[in-house]
Amino acid sequence: MITNRAQWLILLGVAGSVIGTLTNKGLLAHASLAVLAWIFGEWLLFRWRVELQVRHLRCVRNVNGSTSESGTLWTGRRVNVSVEIIPDRSLRIPFIRLRDWQPENLTIDRSEQPDRAEDDWPNEIDASISGRTPVKFTYACRPNGAGMLRFRGVCVCVFDLHGLFIARRFVPAQQNFRVLPTSVTIDATHPLAKRVNALPPPGIHRLQRAGMGSELLELREYVPGDPPKAIAWKVSARRDQLMTREYESEVPIRTTIFVDCSFGTKHGAFGQRPLDQIVRLAASIARSAMSVRDPVGLVACDDAKAQHMASGAGDRHFFQMLDRLSKKAVTTSPPPVRFTQQLMDEAWRVCSELHPELLEPKINQVPFTWFPMRRGKRLDRFRRTRLAAVLTELYSLTPDQPQNLIFDDVHLAEMCQRFLIDAGYGWTWPVIDRRPNELQDWHGKFEVLSDALTQVVARSHDHELLVLLVDLLDHPDPPGRLTAAIRLARAHHHRVIVICPCPDDCRPGSLNMTDLSSRQSLSRLLSHADRARRINSAEKLQRALRRIGVPVAFASDGRAVQLVLAEAELARSGRTSRTGSR
């Protein structure tokens, strides 16, 4: 691409040559022609390098010491990336800028290189390639959220030394990693004092209900039909009536985690989505339960269906569960959105980074039209036409589709979304806003969740722990069907806990209204109002669910997992409350 500087120099050079020649100013003409010849020579050299030499660059990426095309990473954990650009043959490129393409689900870690300036990107390097000498740069990063992480390749910017020409290319080096959620380490809440003589095997808990265990629960009067071996003969002789021994139950306490994977929870930047909080909590709860050998099951609900994962224990089951969670955290098929300029800009930006050669004006030509005549709209139309051609090529659409995409906003929005998701971008950020799109009014998930909860209750035994990780903040009055399902679970003596994802502290009274003055900026006032709305909703939700005996916690509150553990302890002991009544 020719730059403004070169354009001006060419214009002046031509003007100087013509004027100098016409007016017989030899020196002027000679100097102007020399400048033109210089630019022409630079252009030849630059084009030679870009078109014929850059193609011989190859990229090898090393992620945590492995060059494998796939692998596993963990959210929030450090990843060491080393990128090597290897020329396949002897090249000479004096000024090239290399940047490892950064997926949205990745944050560059600067802590290891404190001497680096703030405005330097660790995943970028300016270099000059000479001969077959490879260029290598290393950086550290951290995955933000669970799901999938795709390293696509290296963006290459080739310049001449004078700022006259610039060209962008992309050297592919694809590596796909699944990102598993990191679980939070929780302090053990199990009592250290010895309470019983006979410890049950791991995963088996003494439930203080009549059963077939080995510990005596109580003595009661004989009822016809009681087994003779249960008769306490000595006590019967003392009381002069038949007495029967009742034993405690020894049961495993199953924990079933319901994860809300609906589209509403996938809004926001990776690592800050409600789903990221949900997934992290689910992993922490599962790990905590499995540490005492309790079986844990998983039900992942989205807007259309629920996927059940049978209860199990052990490391293998735990990793299978994490894998399932990370798969659900990937955005696959979002609901259709309206076409917006932001969506278009984002798709264009990503496309120009990943497929710059397909957007070259020489390759991707735009037919001449008179309309639109305004420069801005004309530029938009050009971009749209080029993007449509690239999308048609990438997704093998029919030949008439480029024209359809140019004029059909709905179709183009759909394709742009698909392209962004395939490129590893969240479809919701920053392309569309949440509230105008009314995602919070998506009721499909409640139907699915209620059905799943009812099914689990129907299959399960009594005294199980059901943890609902659901985004209910936009629904302070849960729909009747969900409430009915929760009542059913309570009626079967299950313990039900609801945990809502929340970006900040939602406890009542956590918002200080006194520091809010009229001089605040509009965005700050809006965020304040939004937070006040969330706190109000949280209070309403807590009140509504407390009526049916369900505690509510919020993911932003660090005690959410502790609450789950406390409820699990209650479920294990068979008590109905912490005061000790049965």
Partner 1 sequence: MMQHASDRRPGSGSSKNGIPSNNTLVASTAYIILTGLSAFFVSLWFSPDDSIIAILIAVFFVMTLGIRFWSVALIFLMVQVGLFFAEPGSVGGYSSSPGSSLVSIGVLSLLISCCRYLTLTSSPAPYRLSNRSSVQVAFFHATREPRQAFAPFGVLSRNESTVGSAELFTMLGRAVIPVMAISFMLAIVPLDPDTPEIARLIPPAVRTITLGIILLVICVLANSLLSILVWRKLSPAEARIFARSELSKWIHREVSRVSRRRIRFRNSRRY
Window 126 to 165, contacts with partner 1 (CB under 8 A): 126-128, 133-139, 157, 159, 161-164
51 contributes a contact to partner 1 by CB under 8 A: yes
382 contributes a contact to partner 1 by CB under 8 A: no
Write down the least CB distance from residue 415 to partner 1, Å. 15
User: CA 411, CA 63: separation in Å to the nearest integer?
Assistant: 37
Of these, 347, 358, 449, 565, which contacts partner 1 (CB under 8 A)? 358
373 contributes a contact to partner 1 by CB under 8 A: no
**Which residue stretch of 147-155, 307-315, 387-395, 442-450 sits at the interface with partner 1 (rule: CB under 8 A)?**
387-395
Write down the least CB distance from residue 136 to partner 1, Å. 5
What x-and-dash track marks residues 275-304 binding partner 1 by CB under 8 A?
Answer: ------------------------------
341 contributes a contact to partner 1 by CB under 8 A: no
Q: Between residues 319 and 395, which has the closer beta carbon with respect to partner 1?
A: 395
**Which residue stretch of 17-25, 253-261, 333-341, 539-547 sits at the interface with partner 1 (rule: CB under 8 A)?**
17-25
> Encoding tokens for residue 284?
């922490």
User: CA 31, CA 13: separation in Å to the nearest integer?
Assistant: 8
Which secondary structure element, helix H or strand E, spans residue 93, and what is its range? Answer: strand 91-100
Write down the least CB distance from residue 315 to partner 1, Å. 38
Write down the least CB distance from residue 534 to partner 1, Å. 32
User: What percent helix, strand, coil does the chain show, rounded to 5?
Assistant: 40, 25, 35
CA distances to 156, 189, 421 from 347, rounded to whole Å, are 19, 49, 10
Q: Between residues 35 and 292, which has the closer beta carbon with respect to partner 1?
A: 35
Pairing of strands 135-143, 106-109: antiparallel
Of these, 116, 238, 377, 435, which contacts partner 1 (CB under 8 A)? 116
Residue whose structure tokens are 């989205």: 302
485 contributes a contact to partner 1 by CB under 8 A: no
Q: What is the dihedral of CA 101, 107, 113, 115, to 10 degrees?
A: 90
By CB under 8 A, the residues from 388 to 417 that bind partner 1 are: 389-390, 392-393, 399-400, 402-404, 406-408
Task: Give Cα 564 to chain centroid, integer Å.
Answer: 24
- Cβ atoms 209, 249 nearer than 8 A: yes
**Which residue stretch of 112-120, 221-229, 306-314, 500-508 sits at the interface with partner 1 (rule: CB under 8 A)?**
112-120
Phi, psi of 108 (to 5 degrees): -75, 135
By CB under 8 A, the residues from 188 to 247 that bind partner 1 are: none
Specify whether the backbone of 509 is left (phi greater than 0), alpha (psi in -120 to 50) or beta: left
Q: What sections of 244-302 are H helices per DSSP? A: 274-291
107 contributes a contact to partner 1 by CB under 8 A: no
186 contributes a contact to partner 1 by CB under 8 A: no
**Which residue stretch of 120-128, 241-249, 429-437, 558-566 sits at the interface with partner 1 (rule: CB under 8 A)?**
120-128
Closest CA to 55 of 96, 87, 94, 13: 87
- Cβ atoms 96, 127 nearer than 8 A: yes
Write down the least CB distance from residue 273 to partner 1, Å. 24
**Which residue stretch of 63-71, 123-131, 207-215, 251-259 sits at the interface with partner 1 (rule: CB under 8 A)?**
123-131
Of these, 24, 341, 518, 521, which contacts partner 1 (CB under 8 A)? 24
119 contributes a contact to partner 1 by CB under 8 A: yes
52 contributes a contact to partner 1 by CB under 8 A: yes
Q: Between residues 164 and 560, which has the closer beta carbon with respect to partner 1?
A: 164
Helices 4-22 and 26-48, packing angle to 10 deg = 150
5 contributes a contact to partner 1 by CB under 8 A: yes
**Which residue stretch of 175-183, 332-340, 358-366, 497-505 sits at the interface with partner 1 (rule: CB under 8 A)?**
358-366
In eight-state DSSP terms, residue 160 is -
Query: Is-cis flag, bond preceding 372, omega within 30?
Result: yes
Closest CA to 561 of 185, 259, 299: 185
Amino acid at 180: L
Write down the least CB distance from residue 98 to partner 1, Å. 9
DSSP bridge partners of 302 = none
Which secondary structure element, helix H or strand E, spans residue 126, and what is its range? Answer: strand 124-131
Of these, 36, 204, 292, 484, which contacts partner 1 (CB under 8 A)? 36
34 contributes a contact to partner 1 by CB under 8 A: yes
Size of the residue set binding partner 1 (CB under 8 A) = 95
Q: Between residues 115 and 515, which has the closer beta carbon with respect to partner 1?
A: 115
User: CA 362, CA 321: separation in Å to the nearest integer?
Assistant: 50
Residue whose structure tokens are 């660790």: 122
120 contributes a contact to partner 1 by CB under 8 A: yes
In eight-state DSSP terms, residue 56 is G
Question: What is the C-alpha R_g of the chain?
Answer: 33
Of these, 65, 89, 111, 117, which contacts partner 1 (CB under 8 A)? 117
> Encoding tokens for residue 191?
């009592």
